[in-house]
Amino acid sequence: MAGKGRRKALQAEEVWANVGGMNNDSAQNEHSMKFASQARAWYLVLYVQVLIAVALGIALGHFLPSFGESLKPLGEGFVKLVKMVIAPIVFCTVVHGIASMGDLKRLGRVGLRTLLYFEVVSTVALALGLMVVNLYKPGVGFEAPEVAQHVEQANLHAQKASLASTGKFLLGMVPESFFGALAGGELLQVLLVSVVSAFALARLGERGRVILVGIERAQEFFFAVLGILVRAAPIGAFGAMAFTVGKYGIQSLENLLGLMLCFYVTAGLFVVVVLGLVCRWAGFSIFQYLWFIRDELILCLGTSSSETALPGMMEKSRRLGCQPSTVGLVLPTGYSFNMDGTNIYLCMAAIFLAQATNTPMTWAQQIGLLLVAMLTSKGASGVTGSGFVTLAATLQAVPDIPPASIAFIIGIDRFMSECRAITNMIGNGVATVVISRWEGEVTGDEVRTKLQA
């Protein structure tokens, strides 16, 4: 009876209301019975509120562009609020999951399988982007828009990209101090500190039990904080969309509509076909999974950042039966090493610029571009605009394409950022469930049952 009440409650209440993370059975039953007894009005559901806010933001930005552009702080402020608690949530989840695992050999096996999966799927994403952009050819006959005002901004992105060497990337994984990783919020640094801390706790044995319990309580606390913060998601989505449309305008899409359409269709094909086949192999449906994470999809769309949905994705992955150690390892790592949407964007945007500038590229050169993109895409964060910096780094490594041509697509980058972020998020969520299935943590029947609950 309690299990049935809990399923009804989870259907009635979106994930962000549960994200406070009640982990003991009595608290969950009490929480479930409370919401199961209440009929929740549609306008109180968070993802509905975010959708309404996005529509209002687009309308405001279109009809009052100056005012819409001035609302940029609303969107940026909400993203900063959520990022404020991401580092401690990841730290607590990874440390508690790994330290309580007991079998460190299994941890190494999970890590190797995760990296193997990431490399295979990322390569497929890059190849798909390369194939579609060559078939559709959106850059052929392209009439370049007025880009003079964007040249300085393009040069700035190129300067940032020049710093992204392999050595500096590896050094960037190491924080200046233990607490500096948590304060800085760099996911790779947080992951490094978390894994080292988890190993240290595991070596302490029973002496580390008190610390482990404290970390578990801290995790519940930070999820409760997040549950409060995400209630401001409609405000953040409203400000972000009003700024985007107000600054760049709907008319900025006209000249580059072909590239945008090509990218969105390719990302959709990747999710439905490639990830759909992966999900089918793992024993569940990609469409059921997308409905299951609908709250995070809408949040990601409104804020144009996959990082805002990271805590919710971690919570829902655990709800599907994935072990906390697997969730804590796969999801944060995927935000730097499994950027499927960014990979598709890199290949398509680079070849588009080659077509637009009449720069001939042989298949050998394009395969070389794919290999370069495999390297430059690593470490790309889920924050808006990082994919553009990564594109600049890719173009610097491929001298045939004029670097200044990147200014052509600055005006639509924000509109493409939403698709990049959503695709990245879906890819990492699917990866977490697949690795859990691979490890035998959960069966396909169990995943299907929980997706339908």
Cα distance between residue 189 and residue 87, in whole Å: 9
- CA-CA-CA-CA dihedral for 267, 268, 271, 276, to nearest 10: -150
d(CA 370, CA 225): 41
Write down the pLDDT at residue 303. Answer: 77
Q: Going residue by residue through the chain (453 aa), what tens digit of pLDDT does each one get?
A: 444 444 444 443 443 444 443 344 434 444 443 433 344 677 777 778 888 888 898 889 889 989 988 998 888 888 788 778 888 887 887 788 777 766 667 777 888 888 899 989 988 998 999 999 999 888 877 665 554 444 445 454 555 544 445 556 567 678 888 888 888 767 778 878 888 888 888 888 788 888 988 998 998 898 888 888 888 888 888 888 888 788 767 665 565 788 888 999 999 999 999 999 999 999 999 999 999 999 899 888 877 777 788 888 988 999 999 988 888 888 888 877 788 888 898 888 888 888 888 888 888 888 888 877 776 666 554 444 556 667 776 776 666 777 667 767 766 777 788 888 899 999 999 999 999 998 889 998 999 999 987
Residue 288's pLDDT is 94
Q: What is the CATH number of the domain that holds 100?
A: 1.10.3860.10
pLDDT of res. 279: 95
d(CA 85, CA 93): 12
In a domain, 31, yes or no: no
Number of structural domains found in the chain: 1
- Domain membership of residue 107 as a residue range: 2-26+41-452
Residues 6+ apart with CB under 8 A from 233: 16, 46, 49, 50, 53, 78, 299, 302, 303, 308
| Single pTM value for the model | 0.70
Residues 6+ apart with CB under 8 A from 30: none
Residue 155 is assigned to a structural domain of this protein:
yes
Tell me: the pLDDT tens digits for 305-351?
777 888 889 889 999 999 888 888 888 888 777 888 888 988 888 88
For residue 157, being part of any structural domain is answered with: yes
Q: Is the CB of residue 187 less than 8 Å from the CB of residue 335?
A: yes
Cβ burial 209-238 (10 Å sphere, 16+ → b, else e): eeebeebbebbbbbbebbbebbeebbbbbb
Does residue 32 fall inside a structural domain?
no
Q: Is residue 34 part of a domain?
A: no
Residue 174 belongs to a domain: yes
Residue 217 lies in a domain: yes
Amino acid 176: pLDDT: 84
- Helices 363-376 and 340-356 cross at an angle (nearest 10°) of 140
Provide the 8-state DSSP code for 36: H
Domain membership of residue 223 (yes or no) is: yes
Is residue 185 left, alpha or beta, with left meaning phi > 0 and alpha meaning psi from -120 to 50? left
